[in-house]
Amino acid sequence: MKRVALDDLKAWLKKPDRKPMVLRGARQVGKSTLVHLFCQQEGLELLELNMEIESLNSISGSDFELQRLLNEIQLKKKQSIHDKTLIFFDEIQASPKLLQFLRYFYEQEPNIKLIAAGSLLEIALKSESFSFPVGRVEFYHLGPMSFREFLWACGEDLLDKKLSDFEFTEEVHLAAIRALKNYYYVGGMPAVVKRYIQSQSIVEVRDLQSQILQTYQADFPKYNNRINTQRIARIFNALALHIGKKVIYSKLDRESTSREVKRVVELLFDSRVFLNCVHSDGNSIPLLGESDPKIYKTYLLDIGLLNSLLRLDYEALELEFKNNFNTSGAIAEQFVAQHLVHFQGPSFAPSLSYHLRDKGSQKAEVGFLIEWKRDIYPLEVKASSKGHLKSLKYFALNKKSKLCFKVCLDQFQVDPSFAGKAKLVTLPIYALEYLKENFAGLTDEM
């Protein structure tokens, strides 16, 4: 299945000053499959080591030598390293020392093509005393398959082209809504998408999603063996029920202290299974510079997994679409969150921001804030055109915004006089992923 990341890896391969690539992301988002597909497409010979099941003696001592490591790898795998070889260290978080030694590939053997991938990587790094070789490796943050990638997998290339061109005819709108319903149910976990394409069975989809969720829970002891796994399970499920809401520790687990809950939540963020959306004042960029880490809401990494966890079947999702998500607006927010989390690009760590004013007489909450080209753009997720936009209008006037977004199931339209000098773009939720490539056209008209 085609991923946007394949083109990015091709560009990495051609760089004259190429550094080792480290793929980061949650389990089962397709890191290993991506590397396999990349080698097939580029005619590279894959030399793969899974560090959860293999060990390397040459990295255990204090007198590390890169050539000894290369010799050991070739003997172990019975493969020679040549110009068309790509070395792939999978699950590298299981070997923290090897992470530290990646710098020597860049410094001593820059022509060697090397990719490493890790799940629970952030957790492993926090538990080690060494610093990561910043400047000598390149990071790529991978999430589940996006809606666009789902369209590619379903053979909907023409619909993708129409959305890319912001061509919002009634026929495009209806086709996109049909595809979006399927994506809400299937989600973007590559194995689930593949099963859906092959079987066209929604029953098998739910079974596989359940297995993935069980795999994540089986990983709980790896997060931190000093934390009770039952506590992690309770908080895991509680977070899924609090999607899009400000996190209050006492509401997540009444059997644990706030400090204990906080530790678990941070571990779930580090595992990339949950996404962290932090409050920002939104006065200037970077948004994180004005953020308050104590005020945040959360989302799961994938909408299909969320709906599986919430036991929402296909009929329930169809009813949600018919009612414009009046009963479960958090599902639409989940879709938006997982498509905005990498908005700055895969080289940057995933991040989400929103604006919350819950004290004083003027209360306001803006669902998401987008940072793009040195400007900040507020974005609200609404059920339909009937919903009021009081918070969005307040933010736009107070921060002197130039452009605001309302994401919903309605057709595309522009209100040139929404609030002060700010215009409002009503963006169909299925077109969110195509916003970045059309941003220039929207801002040029201001």
The C-alpha atoms of residue 106 and residue 84 are separated, in whole angstroms, by 17
- Range name among 2-11, 259-268, 326-335, 365-374 with the lowest pLDDT average: 326-335
| 414-439 average pLDDT score | 93
The answer, yes or no, to whether residue 439 has pLDDT greater than 50, is yes
∠ CA 239-241-242 to the nearest 5 degrees? Answer: 65
Structure tokens at 109: 């053997």
Q: What is the pLDDT of residue 126?
A: 73
pLDDT tens, residue by residue, 271-285: 999 999 999 999 988
pLDDT tens, residue by residue, 139-167: 999 999 999 999 999 999 999 999 999 99
Q: What is the pLDDT of residue 1?
A: 81
Structure tokens at 301: 């990494």
* Residue of 329, 325, 213 lying closest to 205 (CA atoms): 213
Q: What is the pLDDT of residue 327?
A: 46
Of residues 15 and 441, the one with the higher pLDDT is 15
Q: E-assigned strands of 204-324? A: 274-280, 291-300
pLDDT tens, residue by residue, 288-321: 888 999 999 999 999 999 999 999 888 888 877 7
Q: With cut-offs at 50, 70 and 90, classify the pLDDT of residue 446.
A: very low
Alpha helices in 14-156 (DSSP H): 31-42, 66-77, 96-108, 121-126, 147-153
Domain spans, the chain: 4-141, 147-219+271-444
CATH class of 4-141: alpha beta
The C-alpha atoms of residue 261 and residue 196 are separated, in whole angstroms, by 36
Q: What is the pLDDT of residue 444?
A: 64
The answer, yes or no, to whether residue 393 has pLDDT greater than 90, is yes
Q: What is the pLDDT of residue 128?
A: 64
Of residues 221 and 84, the one with the higher pLDDT is 84
What does pTM read for this prediction?
0.93
| 68-73 average pLDDT score | 97
Q: What is the pLDDT of residue 62?
A: 79
Q: Give strand pairing partners of 87.
A: 47, 114
Q: Checking DSSP bridges between strand 352-357 and strand 274-280, what pairing results, if any?
A: parallel
Q: What is the pLDDT of residue 426?
A: 94
Q: With cut-offs at 50, 70 and 90, classify the pLDDT of residue 172.
A: very high
Q: What is the pLDDT of residue 441?
A: 81
pLDDT tens, residue by residue, 312-350: 888 888 877 776 555 457 899 999 999 999 999 999 999
The whole-angstrom distance between residue 166's C-alpha and the CA centroid of its chain comes to: 24
Cα–Cα distances (Å) from 223 to 119, 234, 238, 264, 375, in that order, read 11, 15, 18, 9, 37
| 55-59 average pLDDT score | 93
Q: What is the pLDDT of residue 130?
A: 59
pLDDT tens, residue by residue, 209-258: 999 999 999 988 888 777 889 999 999 999 999 999 999 999 999 999 99
For the chain, give the mean pLDDT. 91
Q: What is the pLDDT of residue 109?
A: 95
Q: What is the pLDDT of residue 259?
A: 94
∠ CA 288-292-298 to the nearest 5 degrees? Answer: 85
Q: What is the pLDDT of residue 132?
A: 67
Burial 171-202 (b: 16+ CB within 10 A, else e): ebbebbeebbbbbbbbbbbbebbbbbeeeeee
